[in-house]
Amino acid sequence: MGLIVSSHTRRWPGGCVVWQFHPAMSDAEKATMRQAMDRWQEDDRNVRFLERTTQTSFVEFTPDGDVDNVNRSEVGMVGGRQRLLLEPVNQENNRVRSAQHELGHTLGFHHEQVRCDRDDFVDIDMSKIPLLRFGDYNKQCGDEYRIFGDYDFRSIMHYRPRTTVTTDGSVDITAVDGDDQAVLSAAKRITAGDSAALAKLHGGSAHVYQLSADGQIEKTVRQYIWAPGWTTVTPFRVGPLNFLFRIRAFDGRMHVVRLNLDGSVGETIDNRDWSSDWTSATTYAIGPLNYLYLYKRGNATRHLNRINADGTIGPQAVDSAPIEDGWTSIRHYAIGVNNFLIYANADSGAIRIRRIDWDGSEGEPIQTLSGSAGWTSVEPYIAGGQRYLLLLNSATGALQIQSILDDGRLGTVQDTRDVGAGWSTGQPYRVAGNTYVLLYNQTTGSLRIRRLRANGTLGATTDRRSFSPGWGIAKRYVVGLGTYVVMVDPSP
Ligand SMILES: [Zn+2]
């Protein structure tokens, strides 16, 4: 069914291939490429082709100047500009199939006939293959090549038998079993197997992407198949070490996992069964001590646990006196030595800010606002040395940026606008002195990265992608020199 590139960094983030036409492409060649892209995404949710706007990594569809009758493409996403070379299109040969095949390479497919197990299915006499074409026929068994599914004679990535390649004019590929010869010789197409391999290329329930200093998704770090149903995911740091806390609301299973220096997710260092229905988790440091603050929206239970120096979760730090019910978002921010928790209730519209006491527990409220727009997401951030709060209402599409004053209270509204319903995630982050927000629409799969200006207003769009829908959680973290975002599908 497919031979795909193993390296995650070669995969197009979110399965979204960013492309542009070379100016020298003819209208017929453009039409060919468009048809080929349409065919790949026809009944496939795992790939999107998006015409380039500002992205720095993209494939440029380019007319091939030479006349060797060979189209070319890189395998997978290389980073920066890469080319797909298409031989001239004319009336005798519209090359839609060739274009589909080359796009297969661009997506991350190798040739089906170079699979390590191909000798069981086809005969190829390598002594008759000219050196220049060796790479198209030579069996590949290395780690960079991942076999997926059964051998697929019909795959768009399998060559049809030809007599034009070999040094003596003989047929280059024959079926081991004569019964397979007809299907080997038949026209190739994007098969169900190719689509399944494509799903494998871009699948998983948790993806980690690296974010670039110019406000783009730079590359895929890893794709994971996690056990389903992680409803709360929170990165945290203890000294020089980085971790991810995750918990499932439905059964209370909790994990702490290490975050590796390349941004990938490492070993699980804490793994326990807690009670179910935790809906919020946030972490913070008070002096040298680290805390995990957990909250159950259903009955207002909250726990405050110490986090040990090795990242595991310690015992409860203070009595778990219940606080008010109904908070849907809880976030922390620090101003100097003072720490604050901000609570938002998406249903009632209430917002409350409490100072955190020296023992890590929440103190008396310092500000309570009512009648706000029912923010589903509240995220504090810093831009240009100023503190702000980014508020998002996924139901109405309202986005607001409000300043945070030096005493921890909310100040003036700096920006307010309608970004359209469905934007469920507004995750601010900072790279190389610039601040951005990653916006994701869980319903449509649209993803945008926009600048956040020092004056607290929303700036230019620096990246846009079409992801698959359903990534309910997006959390950014910094490890070493890299800034990363982990996107998680929380569905059970
Ligand atoms: Zn090829």
Return the domain boundaries, the chain: 2-201, 205-488
C-alpha 170 – ligand 1 centre gap (Å) = 20
pLDDT tens-digit series, residues 350-406: 999 999 999 999 999 999 999 788 899 999 999 999 999 999 999 999 999 999 999
pLDDT higher than threshold 70 for residue 334: yes
C-alpha 415 – ligand 1 centre gap (Å) = 50
C-alpha 53 – ligand 1 centre gap (Å) = 28
Sign for the CA dihedral angle at 278, 279, 283, 289 comes to negative
C-alpha 420 – ligand 1 centre gap (Å) = 42
C-alpha 104 – ligand 1 centre gap (Å) = 8
C-alpha 317 – ligand 1 centre gap (Å) = 61
Decide: 303 and 314 in contact? Cβ < 8 Å: no
Q: What are the tokens at 30?
A: 């453009």
465-476 residues labelled b (16+ CB within 10 A) or e (exposed): bbbbbebbbbbb
C-alpha 131 – ligand 1 centre gap (Å) = 16
Q: How far apart are CA 119 and CA 453, in angstroms?
A: 59
Q: What are the tokens at 108?
A: 């991350």
C-alpha 102 – ligand 1 centre gap (Å) = 6
pLDDT tens-digit series, residues 339-358: 999 999 999 999 999 999 99
**The whole model's pTM is what?**
0.94
Q: Domain 205-488, what architecture?
A: 7 Propeller (2.130)
Q: Is 180 exposed, middle or buried (0-12, 13-18, 19+ CB in 10 A)?
A: middle
Beta bridge partners of 21: 61
C-alpha 165 – ligand 1 centre gap (Å) = 14
The arithmetic mean of pLDDT across residues 469-484, rounded, is 94
pLDDT tens-digit series, residues 5-15: 999 999 999 99
C-alpha 69 – ligand 1 centre gap (Å) = 12
3-state secondary structure of 83: strand
C-alpha 162 – ligand 1 centre gap (Å) = 14
C-alpha 101 – ligand 1 centre gap (Å) = 6
The residue to which tokens 């494509």 are assigned: 198
C-alpha 37 – ligand 1 centre gap (Å) = 16
C-alpha 94 – ligand 1 centre gap (Å) = 17
3-state secondary structure of 249: coil
pLDDT-based confidence at 164, cuts 50/70/90? very high
- Tell how many helices (H) and how many strands (E) occur in the chain: 5, 33
C-alpha 105 – ligand 1 centre gap (Å) = 7
Question: What CATH number belongs to 2-201?
Answer: 3.40.390.10
pLDDT-based confidence at 42, cuts 50/70/90? confident
C-alpha 366 – ligand 1 centre gap (Å) = 65
